[in-house]
Structure 1
């Protein structure tokens, strides 16, 4: 978030279970019908993703809420296989800018919070909860306080790819990054968002 979002959010956690795009509606068309028969939390198949632009936009927006990234990856449909989709996601993510990332940060919850401040879809809410699974209740207060300090220093939320990290590890990373200069910290945030999107995309579409 740039300055106009300052103070609304803090740390984002990410893991293969994350969230959909701001303001996007439910899946439509054939993919929607297929989705009614999927196991809870299971994403669309590659065939469904390839066939339905609305499904692709929703899934991609959940992985990284940057409109240009979503458009660039979606434009590559149909993908021959999941590996091709993931390569396309990584290639598009490699050129995202700080301005784009600052806007995408608005999707994430404060550290220790289970829900994003801006309401998303059910998938997004489920992903947000899973992303924070390494944080214990007793650590939430310390993480929230650290996140406030981070926001005050940098003017945007603390983003970290938290897959597999404990609350203690996240706290340690937050402490270290608070010592960075803004010019050093921004590229780190961009890289963390790239890692988050790659993990989410790897789980978002099934074969």
Structure 2
């Protein structure tokens, strides 16, 4: 059986919400401002002789926190990282980001999860896969009350579908508290990936 067949079979054991389902009923109201899913440090913020890290270290806190919220949508996480500037190098910044992510309370994680988009797949992914994924995401949200998150850093484009399907299949059977721990780790990895891409001038996703 393929991953797609396995996911379809597993979903039969879960109660699916209606097709109009968008978010689990236990999600808190989303109180963060609307932010784009992809950002880059604006060109005007630094001169050719100023690195992105130098801008990050010395820019106004409000602007830095808004930038950080595009990596992980937790106000507490963004404020803590901005407050502890300056950082001598990217490794020090990433270590601080990891530490702040590990320290997030349950309410902070709920806030971050509420702001996460679902994992995206290549545009040419076939229709049956999108249908199965929509059902799988709906089943996951109905069970755990938040969107499915997974860090796909380093995964080849032709392996994204299998990786997402396998992730949903394996994690749907988790106990809710165990899944909260897994989701928190995936958020930490996503934040690290996005922050690295941003500070190196790439577009995080």
Instruction: Identify whether the pair has TM-score above 0.5, normalized to the shorter chain.
Output: yes
Find out whether 1:147 has 2:137 as its counterpart: yes
Q: CA deviation at 1:134?
A: 8.6
Q: CA deviation at 1:22?
A: 3.1
Which segments of 5 or more consecutive residues in structure 1 lack a partner in the other structure?
Answer: 1-6, 11-20, 26-30, 39-43, 113-131
Q: What residue number does 2:125 align with? A: 136
Where does structure 1 differ by over 6 angstroms across 4 or more consecutive aligned residues? Answer: none
Q: CA deviation at 1:154?
A: 1.6
Could you say which structure has the greater relative contact order, defined with CA pairs below 8 angstroms and 6 or more residues apart? Answer: 1
Which segments of 5 or more consecutive residues in structure 2 lack a partner in the other structure?
Answer: 1-20, 25-31
Indicate conservation of the 8 Å contact 2:98/2:188, yes or no.
yes
Indicate conservation of the 8 Å contact 1:48/1:55, yes or no.
no
Q: What residue number does 1:18 align with? A: none
Larger Rg: 2
Candidates 146, 159, 177, aligned match of 1:156: 146
The 3 A distance-change label for structure 1 pair 176 and 110 is same
The whole-number CA distance in structure 1 between the counterparts of 2:151 and 2:56 is 25
Query: Over aligned residues, Cα RMSD in angstroms?
Result: 2.9
Deviations 1:114-156 (A, max 9, x none): xxxxxxxxxxxxxxxxxx4498243221111101111122222
Q: Compute the TM-score of the two structures, normalised by the length of structure 1.
A: 0.68
Q: CA deviation at 1:23?
A: 3.9
Candidates 163, 172, 178, aligned match of 1:169: 163
Find out whether 1:22 has 2:33 as its counterpart: yes
Q: What residue number does 1:56 align with? A: 64
Segment of structure 1 superposing worse, 135-144 or 167-176: 135-144
The whole-number CA distance in structure 1 between the counterparts of 2:52 and 2:167 is 36
Instruction: For residue 167 of structure 2, give the secondary structure of its aligned residue in structure 1.
Output: helix
Q: Compute the TM-score of the two structures, normalised by the length of structure 2.
A: 0.68
Q: What residue number does 2:85 align with? A: 77
